[in-house]
A and B are shown apart, each in its own frame.
Chain A
Amino acid sequence: MTLEIDTLNALTSQTLTDIEITMVEGLIMSNDQNTYIPVLAKEVPTLENGGIVQKDDGTIEMTWNLQEGVKWHDGEPFTSADVCFTLDFIQSEAGQAVYNQTDYLGITECQMPDDKTVVFVWDKPAGNYATLFDTILPKHMLEGQDILTYDAYNRSPLGTGPFKFAEWKPGEYVRVVKNPDYWRGADFPKLDEIVFSFIPDPNTRLNGLKAGEFDIGQILPNQVKEVQDLAGYKVVSVPSNRWVIFETNLFNERAKTLFSDPNVRKALFHAIDRQAIVDGLMEGTVQLANSGISPTSPYHNPDVPAYEYDPAKAAQMLDEAGWAVGADGIREKDGEKLSFTIMNRSSRPERTAVAQAIQAMLKEVGVEVTFEDLESAAWLEKWLSKEWEAIIGGWIIPADPSLTGLYACEGSNNFTGFCNPELDAAMEASDATFDFKDRKPLMDKVQTILAEEGRELPIYYNSLPYVMRENFQGFKGSGTNLGSFWNSYEWDLGN
Chain B
Amino acid sequence: MGRYIIRRVLQMIPLFIGISIVIFIVIQAAPGGPETTLLATGRFVSPEILEAYRTRLGLDQPIYVQYFRWLTTALSGDLGYSYKSAQPVLQVIAERLPATIELMLAAYLLAATIALPLGVYSAIHKYSPLDYAGTGLSFLGIAMPVFWFGLILQLVFAVQLGWLPSSGRETVGNTGFIDQLKHLIMPATVLSLLYIAGWSRYMRSSFLGVINSDYVRTARAKGLHERRVMLVHGLKNAAIPVVTIIALDVAGLFSGAVITETIFAWPGIGRLFIQAMYDRDYPLLMGIIMMGSIMVVVFNLFADIINAWLDPRVSYD
Contact = CB atoms under 8 A, between A and B. Distances in A.
B37 A14 contact: yes
Given A172-B169, A211-B162, A380-B32, A200 B41 contact: no
Contact of B41 (A4, A213, A383, A396): A396
Interface in B267-282: 267-268, 271-272, 275, 278-280
A475 interface: no
Given A211-B158, A213-B166, A7 B45 contact: no
Given A376-B278, A377-B280, A394-B42, A384 B50 contact: yes
A6 B275 CA distance: 11
B36 interface: yes
Interface of B: 30-33, 36-50, 52-53, 56, 81, 84-87, 92, 95-96, 99, 147, 151, 154-155, 158-159, 162, 165-170, 172, 262-268, 271-272, 275, 278-280
Nearest to A243: B42
27 contacts: A6-B86, A15-B41, A100-B44, A102-B48, A148-B86, A151-B87, A170-B267, A171-B99, A172-B169, A172-B265, A173-B168, A199-B168, A199-B265, A200-B262, A203-B263, A204-B154, A204-B264, A207-B167, A208-B166, A374-B31, A377-B32, A379-B32, A380-B37, A395-B43, A412-B44, A412-B48, A413-B44
Nearest to A12: B86
A149 interface: yes
Given A169-B267, A376-B40, A204 B86 contact: no
A197 interface: yes
Contacts of B280: 377
Nearest to A14: B38
Please classify the interface of chain A as helix (H, G, I), strand (E, B), loop, or mixed, using the class held by over half of its residues: mixed
Contact of B165 (A4, A6, A213): A213
The residue among A154, A155, A199 with the most chain B CB atoms within 10 A of its own CB is A199
B32 A6 contact: no
Interface string A3-16: 11011000000111
Nearest to A98: B49
A381 interface: yes
Contacts of A187: none
B267 A171 contact: yes
A201 B81 CA distance: 27
B96 A170 contact: yes
Given A200-B271, A379-B32, A6 B85 contact: yes
B44 A406 contact: yes
A455 interface: no
Interface residues of A, number: 60
Given A380-B32, A412-B46, A207 B267 contact: no
7 closest A-B pairs by beta carbon, nearest first, are A171-B267, A377-B32, A412-B46, A380-B36, A378-B31, A96-B52, A381-B32
B268 A171 contact: yes
A333 interface: no
Interface of A: 3-4, 6-7, 14-16, 96-97, 99-102, 148-149, 151, 154-155, 169-173, 175, 195, 197-201, 203-204, 207-208, 210-213, 242, 347, 374-384, 394-397, 405-406, 412-413, 481
B163 to A, nearest CB: 10
Contacts of A211: 154, 158-159, 162, 165-166
B265 A200 contact: yes
A197 B92 CA distance: 18
Contact of A96 (B53, B81, B99, B167): B53
A442 to B, nearest CB: 19
B86 A149 contact: yes
A210 B159 contact: yes
Contacts of B45: 99-100, 413
B85 A7 contact: yes
Given A96-B52, A148-B86, A377-B278, A171 B43 contact: no
A154 B278 contact: no
B43 A396 contact: yes
A380 B265 contact: no
A84 B256 CA distance: 46
B44 A405 contact: yes
A405 B265 contact: no
A204 B265 contact: yes
A101 B47 CA distance: 12
Contacts of A3: 275
Contacts of B169: 172
Given A96-B49, A102-B49, A204 B167 contact: yes
Contacts of B44: 99-100, 395, 397, 405-406, 412-413
A394 B165 CA distance: 36
Contact of B271 (A14, A171, A383, A406): A171
A384 to B, nearest CB: 7
Contacts of A171: 95-96, 99, 265-268, 271-272
A16 B41 contact: yes
B167 A199 contact: yes
Contact of A384 (B36, B272, B278): B36
Contacts of B56: 96-97
B154 to A, nearest CB: 4
A396 B40 CA distance: 11
Nearest to B269: A171
Contacts of B151: 203-204, 207
B41 A208 contact: no
B42 A377 contact: no
B43 A100 contact: yes
B37 A377 contact: yes
A79 B39 CA distance: 33
A7 B162 CA distance: 34
A197 B183 CA distance: 15
Contacts of A374: 31
Contacts of A347: 40, 278
A437 B266 CA distance: 52
Contacts of B265: 171-172, 197-201, 204
Contacts of B31: 374, 377-378, 381-382
Contacts of B46: 102, 405, 412-413
Given A6-B85, A213-B165, A213-B166, 11 more contacts: A149-B86, A170-B92, A171-B96, A172-B265, A201-B263, A203-B263, A204-B151, A204-B166, A375-B278, A405-B44, A412-B47
Contacts of B168: 172-173, 197, 199
Contacts of A405: 44, 46
Contacts of A175: 172
A104 to B, nearest CB: 12
B87 to A, nearest CB: 7
A11 to B, nearest CB: 13
Name the residue among A6, A101, A155, A198 with the largest chain B CB count within 10 angstroms. A6
A274 to B, nearest CB: 20
Contacts of A375: 32, 278
Name, among B44, B159, B278, the residue most crowded by chain A CB atoms within 10 Å (CB to CB).
B44
Contacts of B154: 204, 207, 211
